[in-house]
Structure 1
Amino acid sequence: MCSFGARGGVHVSHGLKVRGIIAPPRPLFSLTEGGDFDKLGRGTVWNGSIPNCLHQNHIFRVRPNPRLLNSRFLAAIFASPYGKAYFLASAKQTTNLASINSTQLKAFPVPMPSLNEQERIAVLLDSYETRLKAEEAQLAKLHQLKRGLMEDLLTGRVRVPLAQPEAAQAEAVH
């Protein structure tokens, strides 16, 4: 049972803590079991950055054997069109929701290149993700600059001189 404390903290019963705590001895991959179609099969690698963290009951904890399967590689496979297609085909679907169960998750056919190849793929994908985030941040800054410049121009805080025809410019100089 969960309850909110007087100071805004959350009190969780011992039984829920034991079932829901994420305390990975090695990287853990967590996967959402359902919800909106675009969230089905979405996952992430958890490295224990928040101590005593609990997860919701619609999250699967997957602990791949690190001698056989790289967690980041697995996350990429699940997020790929191949993974999405599998989860959508396997899901129980209602009007706007889809869900999978642990049996369907365990049946997911994981491509298994060598562990070295998986690690190289994971490092490459991480570098692409880092670059993509940096470029998205730069694009956001440019959009903000554009909005500011447009506001300055449209409110009249900045005036743009009107272009003069070349003949008029030549006369102004003489």
Structure 2
Amino acid sequence: MNARRATLPQRAGYLRVANVFRGAIDTTEIKELGVSRAELERTRIRLGDLLVVEGHGNLDEVGRAALVTALPSADLTHQNHLFRLRPNGERVLGRFPELVLNSSDSRKYFRRVANTTSGLKTLNATSVRSLRMRLAPLSVQNEIVRELDSVSNAIRAAESSSTELDELFAALQHRAFRGEL
């Protein structure tokens, strides 16, 4: 935090690139900084906002996005290497653009339009706004999100079962070599 921020009277938590993953926000460690009231009002994060990584050293991580589904604090803002998008709930479900932004097509687009300065790959607001996103009716968006969540849950369950089977096999193998079977 710079010296000017330390003198500002109001404190706010802020999310950093390190907090934003593809499809998830980790709020276990939130740093604080000094902000002006006007700055906080302009940059405050709300439920349903989308955070998009603007700059990263790894080109594949530029543009990763996550939906804000929980607020650990009412006074929460974001680092300048994150874009905050606020979807219009009458036209789009928050999870739908999150899925689109994290899709392979969007990732290819972000890799193509990212700029490089001193080792940091960055997007600008114009390139993010220029990403074409086809919007289905809300009912279809909801169905797509539900189906993709179902597939993701099935994958997680299969990975968990695989881990359990690997652990069981290792335990049985250990017991077999010790002559306990």
Contact kept? 1:33, 1:40, Cα under 8 Å: yes
TM-score, normalised relative to structure 1: 0.73
Query: What do you get for the CA RMSD once the two structures are aligned?
Result: 2.7
Unaligned runs of 5+ residues in structure 1 are 3-8, 160-174
Q: Report which of the two structures shows the higher radius of gyration computed on alpha carbons.
A: 1
Structure 1 position 66, deviation (Å): 0.8
Query: In 2 relative to 1, CA 149–15 (structure 1 residues): closer, same or farther, beyond 3 Å?
Result: farther
Length, aligned pairs only: 151
Contact kept? 1:20, 1:57, Cα under 8 Å: no
Query: In 2 relative to 1, CA 132–22 (structure 1 residues): closer, same or farther, beyond 3 Å?
Result: same
Structure 1 position 61, deviation (Å): 0.9
Contact kept? 2:49, 2:84, Cα under 8 Å: yes
Separation in 1, partners of 2:100, 2:151: 15
Q: Secondary structure at the residue paired with 2:89?
A: coil
Contact kept? 1:37, 1:96, Cα under 8 Å: no
Contact kept? 1:64, 1:71, Cα under 8 Å: yes
Q: Percent identity?
A: 25
Letter in 2 for 1:39: E
Separation in 2, partners of 1:157, 1:102: 64
Structure 1 position 20, deviation (Å): 5.0
Higher relative contact order (CA 8 A, sep 6+): 2
Q: Secondary structure at the residue paired with 2:72?
A: coil
Structure 1 residue aligned with 2:153: 130
Q: Secondary structure at the residue paired with 1:61?
A: strand
Q: Secondary structure at the residue paired with 2:170?
A: helix
Separation in 2, partners of 1:66, 1:102: 21
TM-score, normalised relative to structure 2: 0.70
Structure 1 position 141, deviation (Å): 1.6
Structure 1 position 149, deviation (Å): 2.6
